A and B are shown apart, each in its own frame.
Chain A
Amino acid sequence: MLKAAYLNETEKLLARKKYLVLLIIDAAFCVFAALARFISLLIGDGMLKSASVFGDLPVDGISLYFLFFLPLIALLGSADLFGAEVHEKTLRMLIQRPVARRTLFSAKVAAIFTLAAVFAFFHLVVLLLLRLIFDHSLSGAGFAFGAYALDLLPVIVVVLFFALLNQTGAGSASSVALSVVVYLVVVFSGRYVAPFSGLVFTEYLSWHNLWLGSVLPAFALLPKIGILLGSALIFAGGGLILFERKEI
């Protein structure tokens, strides 16, 4: 039943045109970034080498992308599959089928994560293509792929966080508003409030920094993995309990 529910949830997300629009906007940003570098190369008039200008294109801005853009996708996905389904009462159609609520919850979370992964890899592929066009090179593509794959792991926590928040709102609009505010507070707290620094999951959305390049020793990685795992368990448990108790 999990496979059936997962396929259904994914299809429902893909049927919404806004994600196609967001993919186009994402691609447009990538093109602008590449064009800006190309212009700087022209202005440099031979002083800059193409490889140095375009070499980090696929991973430049990855932190901001994973901190703000992908959470936005996860937030919209959660609002569509949790908030809107309750508000529009379509969840009834699912609940009266021979499928357990925990299966539905897991399928929805998996579908939202898949959506985020599709966006991340689309973003990477567009940037790699642009690098190929402007720099005629794909060196470092493996590193970039690894960085995106590693950075996607903490996105599961973000998806679970929004899944939990979407159980609390009265409607999809209020859920979105609440999610945006709480997420920004969490990001701000992690960055600028000393006691929370390093303790909130949003501080680990650039996960690849811990693993690629200079790898931290295991004893330094364990607490960070623990924080992410702990956050995931709290959000998943809380979200599932509220979803199981939801009356529709």
Chain B
Amino acid sequence: MENVLQINHLTKKYKNGRGVADISFSVAEGEIVGLLGPNGSGKTTIMKSILGMCRIDSGEAELFGVNAVSSHEEALRDVGALVEQPSLYENLSALKQLKLMARFYPGLSPDAPMKALAEMGLDRFANEKARRFSLGMKQRLGLALAFFSDPRFLILDEPTNGMDIESSVYLRNRIAEMAEKAGKTFLVSGHRADELERLCHRVLILCEGELIDDVAIEEVLRLSPSLEDYFLEKVRSRKGGEI
């Protein structure tokens, strides 16, 4: 299968010393890959580096075989993303935000923004300004902004953050369905191992800015009772028995 994402020796260090070092991995078409790690382990940094939100110190990121840094415009044509909390124009309505972003996707159906809102259960609030939305509604709007252009690859940073149980389960099922039926590819980060265990085909474990494991969920469950146990064991052995 074609590699949708290829990361080679990616290094990005912030002034405070945090970041990631020498990260290499790939994501094949139709895969759901999870990024799991303690706070500050570099999950979001990897996503930001792929999306051009921060400058890579060394290494490279390729999306659909195109360099994500030097050919940002071409590389991101088929990518949808939600990184950290949704960044929304508080004084604009939900529909307006989607319509503004839709201009960057020529050929997109005019009803795509409304469809995305309906899928996220926000169609009733389409004309309400984002500042009136609750945290969960903002998260769903952020997801609508990631999904509406029907991208082949989705990068989602803690996608169920702030969402209720029902919405979280719906989203998880929807992601699985999109990967299975439409061949969409996902890179999903999360701090809840049980959620990633149910959702992902493969998981990348990060610790202190380094990739310490790249393992299929089937293999994880063969070796440990759960992804959580496997993760804790890996991180403990990395940190010399402490967490």
Contacts and interface: CB of A to CB of B under 8 A. Distances in A.
A97 B104 contact: yes
Interface stretch (A9-17, A20-28, A29-37, A235-243): A9-17
A103 B51 CA distance: 16
Contact of B76 (A11, A12, A90, A97): A97
B88 A90 contact: yes
Interface residues of B, number: 31
A16 to B, nearest CB: 7
Interface in B15-74: 48, 51-55, 72-74
A248 interface: yes
Nearest to A92: B87
B108 to A, nearest CB: 11
Interface string A96-113: 111111010000000000
Given A1-B73, A96-B81, A15 B92 contact: yes
A247 B55 contact: yes
B87 A98 contact: no
Contact of A96 (B51, B74, B92, B100): B51
B91 A90 contact: no
B218 interface: no
Contacts of A7: 103
Interface residues of A, number: 26
A97 B91 CA distance: 20
Nearest to A11: B100
Contacts of A100: 72-73
A20 to B, nearest CB: 13
Interface string A188-202: 000000000000000
Main DSSP-derived SS at the B contact region: loop
Contact of A89 (B76, B87, B104, B106): B87
A88 interface: yes
Contact of A247 (B54, B75, B87, B103): B54
A93 interface: yes
Given A90-B89, A97-B76, A100-B72, A8 B100 contact: yes
Nearest to A245: B55
B137 to A, nearest CB: 16
B145 interface: yes
A91 interface: yes
Nearest to B75: A98
B221 interface: no
A173 interface: no
B123 to A, nearest CB: 20
A95 interface: yes
Contacts of B55: 245, 247
Contact of A93 (B74, B87, B90, B106): B87
A182 interface: no
A4 interface: yes
B145 A93 contact: yes
B62 to A, nearest CB: 15
Contacts of A95: 51-53
A92 B83 contact: yes
Contact of A91 (B87, B88, B100): B87
B115 interface: no
Interface in B79-119: 79, 81, 83-84, 87-92, 96-97, 100-101, 103-106
Contacts of B201: none
B191 interface: no
Contacts of A89: 84, 87
B234 interface: no
B106 to A, nearest CB: 8
B72 A101 contact: yes
Contacts of B83: 92, 96
Interface of A: 1, 4-5, 7-8, 11-12, 15-16, 88-93, 95-101, 103, 245, 247-248
Given A5-B104, A12-B92, A98-B75, 15 more contacts: A4-B103, A88-B87, A88-B90, A90-B87, A92-B84, A93-B87, A93-B89, A93-B145, A97-B76, A97-B104, A98-B72, A98-B73, A98-B77, A98-B104, A103-B73
Interface of B: 48, 51-55, 72-77, 79, 81, 83-84, 87-92, 96-97, 100-101, 103-106, 145
12 contacts: A4-B103, A4-B104, A5-B104, A16-B91, A90-B88, A90-B89, A96-B51, A97-B101, A98-B74, A98-B79, A98-B105, A247-B55
Rank and list the top 7 A-B pairs by shortest CB-CB distance, nearest first.
A4-B103, A92-B87, A98-B76, A89-B87, A98-B77, A247-B54, A97-B104
